[in-house]
Amino acid sequence: MADATESDSRRLLRRLRDTLAEQGKGQERLDRITHLIADSIGCEVCSIYLFRDDDTLELCATEGLKAESVHQTRLRLGEGLVGRVAKSGSPINTANAPGEKGFRYMPETGEEIYSAFLGVPIQRLGEALGVLVVQSKLARQYTEDEVYALEVVAMVLAEMTELGAFVGEGEALARLHTHPALFRGGTGQEGTAEGRVWLHEPRVVVTNPVADDPQAECERLRRAVEELRLSVDTLVTEADIGDGEQKQVLETYRMFANSRGWLARMEEDILRGLSAEAAVEKEQSATRTRMDQVADPYLRERLHDLDDISNRLLRILTGQGKETGAAMPDNPVLVARNIGPGELLEYGRKLKGVVLEEGSVGSHAAVVARALAIPLVIHADRITTEALNGDHILVDGDQGIVHLRPDDNVAAAFRDKIAMQAKAMERYAGLKLLPAQALCGTTVGLHMNAGLMADLPSLEGSGALGVGLFRTELQFLIRNQVPKRGELAALYSRVLDAAKGRRVAFRTLDIGSDKVLPYMKRVAEPNPAMGWRAIRVGLEKPGVLRMQLQALLRAARGRPLTVMFPFVAQFEEFLQARDHLMREIDREGQLGHVLPERIEIGAMLETPSLAFAPKQFFELADFISIGGNDLKQFFYAADRENERVRRRYDTLNVSFLTFIGHIVDRCAETGTPLSFCGEDAGRPVEALCLAAMGLRTLSMRPASIGPVKALLRRVSIAETRAVIDEAAARGLPSVRPAVMEWLARHAEVM
């Protein structure tokens, strides 16, 4: 391998392609390839190691090492030099392998006589498939050119592996994407689903990794890059987006699309013998490897942008758009790296489940999935690399687990679980018309949370008494511009029609923090959750708030209207927000419009400060609704989006329940109606404890109403309170163990 000139590597790739075109089983092909590489580049040893499972590499073919070690020699990920190459995704090049850190001597291979070692990863789009190694007796460092040439060869091997060229007997030569795979992510929305994978962005398949005419390939690449640049320019100019974050992303795209370094690297790959598509993928693989190693979130995002732009370029080159012609399977489960709320809504309820590599509990996609009641698993790392369209998939949104291509036992157990849930649903359906009345006689009003027109049919189905929280921001999040007053009024009016006289508490726009409107000017904030959000935005820039209030007033037209303001931290804010509404009522009256029959104006209590507001606040507010998700985050100073800290603090800790008790007392003093509309209201045991602390109205997602009602009807709320008080008196940090133990003895079904 003394002289790996460009034409050498091209010649090697051509021979490789010819070899691959010959008939033969996977093993024969691998054997021929190692022989060919060793022969072409003049080194004594060439070996191919492939993964037999996520953690183990197996020597699958070799020229030069002892033949009996093939399929016998195995290394764990990170073990020895080969394992290190696989783990780091980058080459190791050393003149003195035995002297290298981590070297592991494997006597069965007979490799001790070889000094020089060069190993490069065989990877496709960041997915590690194996390691390609050359070794020589002469103690020398391989040149940069040689490393590069071997990487190009590894790239072709990766493509061919993906296409199934090396399928044969044994685990290591099993076809890719056929094994069962388990992904542990997080819960975005509870529920279970069984179905078939539908990739939001299907993988681009490159069938021609090697090309003969570099000039023609470079020309194809340049034309494609030009088309890419034009399309990005159009995106930038067409998107009427001010100077928000989306524009920044597009500008980054533009920068990458115009990057000379990127184009030059790809052209160099082509000169080595790769096709234009393979060259794009090679650079994309390198980007993904870097992405895995970069800790800085900003840099990671930029690498993601580069990854996106590479995908676009690949689609231009291969002509494979999002539309691959594949038909959506029955019971589709959407698998994507991430997805916007609008796109998810377009798929709508036909999806059985959604699995994302990214996303977060509070992301817009999660909000929509929740509204559509579709099970959602987030943070399923690498699933888009593993899954193929049509793969059998099980989504366990309760546990945040996904089984891809499950074996029969797993599928059977999963179906049992779904069947049990279906049975429970039937039981809950039987309770639909019954009140949530506990054995002690106390009744709790169960309402539902909503955010889309599509939620409203659940009012009938769930037996909810009304909508305790209508999150109006969804209508804003799924559009590209601020919705018009007329559109909003029509929508709110349809919501009220669908509610058929039941109360709907419309929460005014709650944006900022994690909910960023694509068209909103974004101010960089060090801590957005505690920043310019919700009512703070509404009061400082009241244009949209007032427009929304007008829309609500017009929608109500003679009907009762309930408005609540989010994230009120102090009395003054409530006064100001209320003033805006009063002014709009006056204005509507002057315009001769029919006013609502009556108006209730409430506040969400989401920061501890409001619980200590003056009595006048409690007197003035027509009702108060505890936003437990935010309240808990600020009570414990633990980010609700940060799994690491979020789980440390329990809703049933004595401290939090005592605080809830304080809010109940303050409201009782003034007779102010109080409800709770955070996620905890929908968890049966939490709901029971909230009721025990004095809450008589809970608002939750529709699917939770059955389970919550079922528990409340089987226990005494008064006795639960006694259990809580006793646990608190004993100085226990949480009442959960005591309540659970008591329930196990006293409630038949939980």
Q: Of the two residues 150 and 369, which places its CB atom closer to ligand PEP in the complex?
A: 369
56 binds, among ligand PEP, Mg ion, none (CB under 5 to 8 A by kind): none
Residue 379: active-site member? no
CA torsion 282-286-288-292 (nearest 10°) is: 160
b/e sequence 266-279, b meaning 16+ C-beta within 10 Å:
bbbbbbbbbbbbbb
98, 58 Cβ separation under 8 angstroms: no
Residue with tokens 């021609």, as numbered in its chain: 208
Residue choice 320, 442, 629, 670 for contact with ligand PEP (CB under 6 A): 629
The DSSP result for 661-725, as a single string, is HHHHHHHHHHT--EEE-SGGGGSHHHHHHHHHTT--EEEE-HHHHHHHHHHHTTS-HHHHHHHHH
Task: Report the alpha-carbon angle 183-186-191, nearest 5.
Answer: 95
DSSP code at position 482: P
Helix (H, G, I), strand (E, B) or coil at 348: helix
- Segment 630 to 649, residues that bind ligand PEP, using CB under 6 A: 630
Site string for ligand PEP, 731-750 (x = CB under 6 A): --------------------
Long-range contact pairs involving 578-581 (C-beta distance under 8 Å, separation at least 24)? 578/620, 580/538, 580/539, 580/542, 580/545, 580/546, 580/549, 581/549
Q: Binding partner of residue 127 among Mg ion, ligand PEP, none, CB under 5 to 8 Å per kind?
A: none
| 465 or 677: CB nearest ligand PEP | 677
Binding track over 294-323 against ligand PEP, x by CB under 6 A: ------------------------------
Report if residue 469 touches ligand PEP, rule: CB under 6 A: yes
Residue numbers 502-531 binding ligand PEP by CB under 6 A? 510
270 binds, among ligand PEP, Mg ion, none (CB under 5 to 8 A by kind): none
Determine whether 218 is an active site residue: no
Contacts with 374 (C-beta within 8 Å, 6 or more apart), sequence order: 189, 191, 193, 349, 351, 352, 353, 354
For ligand PEP, which stretch binds (CB under 6 A), given 226-234, 385-393, 479-487, 628-636?
A: 628-636
Closer CB to Mg ion, 627 or 707, in the complex: 627
CB of residue 627 vs Mg ion: minimum separation in angstroms?
A: 4
Residue 677 interacts, among ligand PEP, Mg ion, none and using kind-specific CB cut-offs from 5 to 8 Å, with ligand PEP
CA neighbor of 51 nearest in space, from 172, 170, 156, 154: 172
For residues 134 and 150, is the Cβ–Cβ distance under 8 A? Answer: yes
Q: Beta-carbon neighbour count of residue 212 at 10 Å?
A: 12
CB 649 within 8 A of CB 632: yes
Q: How many residues are recorded in the chain?
A: 750
Residues in the site for Mg ion, rule: CB under 5 A?
A: 606, 627, 630
Among Mg ion, ligand PEP, none, partner that 628 touches (CB below 5 to 8 angstroms by kind): ligand PEP
Least distance in angstroms from the C-beta of 169 to ligand PEP: 54
- Which of Mg ion, ligand PEP, none interacts with 469 (beta carbon under 5 to 8 A by kind)? ligand PEP
DSSP state of 123: E
Binding-residue pattern over the window 605 to 624 for ligand PEP, x denoting contact by CB under 6 A: -x------------------
Distance CA 208, CA 60 (A): 24
Q: Which is nearer to ligand PEP, 197 or 677 (CB)?
A: 677
Residue among 101, 92, 95, 98 nearest 111 (CA):
98
Tokens of 611: 């619980």
160 binds, among ligand PEP, Mg ion, none (CB under 5 to 8 A by kind): none
The interface with ligand PEP within residues 676-695 (CB under 6 A) comprises: 677-678
CA atoms in the 13 A half-sphere facing the CB of 625 = 32
Catalytic residue among 304, 364, 379, 580: 364
CB of 606 vs Mg ion, minimal distance in Å: 5
Separation CA 280–CA 307 (nearest Å) = 10
For Mg ion, the closer CB: 89 or 627: 627
Q: For residue 688, which of 465, 446, 427, 448 has the smallest C-alpha distance?
A: 446
- CB 237 → Mg ion: shortest distance, Å? 36
Quick one: tokens of 745? 């003895």
- In whole angstroms, the minimum distance from the beta carbon of 453 to ligand PEP comes to 18
Q: Which residues have a Cβ under 8 Å from the Cβ of 379 and sit 6 or more positions away?
A: 185, 186, 356, 357, 358, 359, 400
Name which of 124 and 471 has its Cβ closer to ligand PEP. 471
Query: Under the criterion CB under 6 A, does residue 628 sit at the interface with ligand PEP?
Result: yes
Whichever of 268 and 514 has its CB closer to Mg ion, that residue is: 514
Q: Counting contacts by CB under 6 A, is residue 186 touching ligand PEP?
A: no
Handedness of CA 93, 98, 99, 103 (dihedral sign): positive
Considering the candidates 60, 667, 677, 689, report the single residue annotated as catalytic: 677
What is the C-alpha separation between 353 and 392, in angstroms, rounded?
12
CA 192/CA 188 separation, integer angstroms:
12
- For residue 69, the 8-state DSSP code is G
In whole angstroms, the minimum distance from the beta carbon of 170 to Mg ion comes to 54
- Of ligand PEP, Mg ion, none, which one does residue 689 interact with (CB within 5 to 8 Å by kind)? none
702 binds, among ligand PEP, Mg ion, none (CB under 5 to 8 A by kind): none
Specify the stretch interacting with ligand PEP by CB under 6 A; choose among 241-249, 270-278, 399-407, 626-634.
Answer: 626-634
Contacts for 23 with CB less than 8 Å, ≥ 6 apart: none
What residues from 540 to 559 belong to the interface with ligand PEP (CB under 6 A)? Answer: none
Q: How many whole angstroms from its chain centre is CA 469?
A: 25
Torsion of CA 712, 715, 717, 723, to 10 degrees: -130
Q: What is the rounded distance in angstroms from the CA atom of residue 390 to the CA atom of residue 409?
A: 20
Minimum separation from the CB atom of position 638 to ligand PEP (A): 14
* Shortest spacing between CB 508 and ligand PEP, in angstroms: 12
Element (H, E) at 628: helix 628-636
Positions in 571-610 near ligand PEP (CB under 6 A): 606
To ligand PEP, the closest distance from the beta carbon of 738 in angstroms equals 25
CB of 598 to Mg ion, least distance (A): 26
- Closer to Mg ion by CB, 395 or 448: give it: 448
Closest CB 470 distance from ligand PEP, rounded Å: 11
Partner whose footprint covers residue 466, from Mg ion, ligand PEP, none (CB < 5 to 8 Å by kind) = none
By CB under 6 A, residue 468 contacts ligand PEP: no
Task: In angstroms, give the least distance from the CB of 592 to ligand PEP.
Answer: 35
Which of Mg ion, ligand PEP, none is residue 678 near (CB under 5 to 8 Å by kind)? ligand PEP
Q: Which is nearer to ligand PEP, 510 or 584 (CB)?
A: 510
Kindly state the tokens that stand for 126: 């960041």
d(CA 318, CA 321): 8
Task: Return the number of the residue (60 or 677) whose C-beta is nearest Mg ion.
Answer: 677
Residue 447 touching ligand PEP (CB under 6 A): no
263 versus 530: smaller Cβ distance to ligand PEP: 530
Active site (catalytic) residues: 364, 677
Q: What residues make contact with ligand PEP under the rule CB under 6 A?
A: 469, 471, 510, 606, 627-630, 677-678
